[in-house]
Amino acid sequence: MPGAPGAHFDRELKAGQKRILNSASVGQEQCTFCRIARGELPSHKVYEDERYLAFLDIYPLSRGHTLVCPKEHGETIWDMKEPEIGGLFLAASRVSRAIVEATGSDGFRLLQNNGEAANQAVAHVHVHVIPVVMQDRTKAMSRTKPAEREMRATAAAIRKALLP
């Protein structure tokens, strides 16, 4: 049944094409990122246009760790058309510049997981933009839970850096 936990959304599959398992599958009415895009759940938005949204990860790997996602629901990049995939990565690129400026990072990682086996925790396609400072480049990354005031300040700094 589509939308049930552990189920897959019905897609047109070509002969021999594999489906990607994602036990976090839900319909767009219950999808956390769709609910954020509709304004039903709070987030620290840093970027938004007609198709894409970027907001701070609530358990970041580093200060400024941001998620960029399409507003339209789809679980993996296989659910997107090529121009939409390009648009998602263009938005991630634009946001990455602001994140590096706002956080004083020395670089950044783009991470995009597809399916449970790849550690995709939310079944809505998204790109992680993770700022990195030079001294942390070889360290194992672990998630944190920043204070609300730090999240607000970081989001504001990124939004300011995005201004033309």
Cα three-residue angle 107-48-23, rounded to 5 degrees: 80
Q: For residues 82 and 94, what is the distance between their CA atoms, to the nearest angstrom?
A: 18
Catalytic residue among 65, 73, 126, 128: 126
Burial class (CB in 10 A: 0-12, 13-18, 19+), 112: middle
Note if 126 is an active site residue.
Answer: yes
Extract the tokens encoding 72: 């339209």
Q: Does residue 112 contact residue 77 with C-beta atoms inside 8 Å?
A: yes
- Residues labelled catalytic: 126
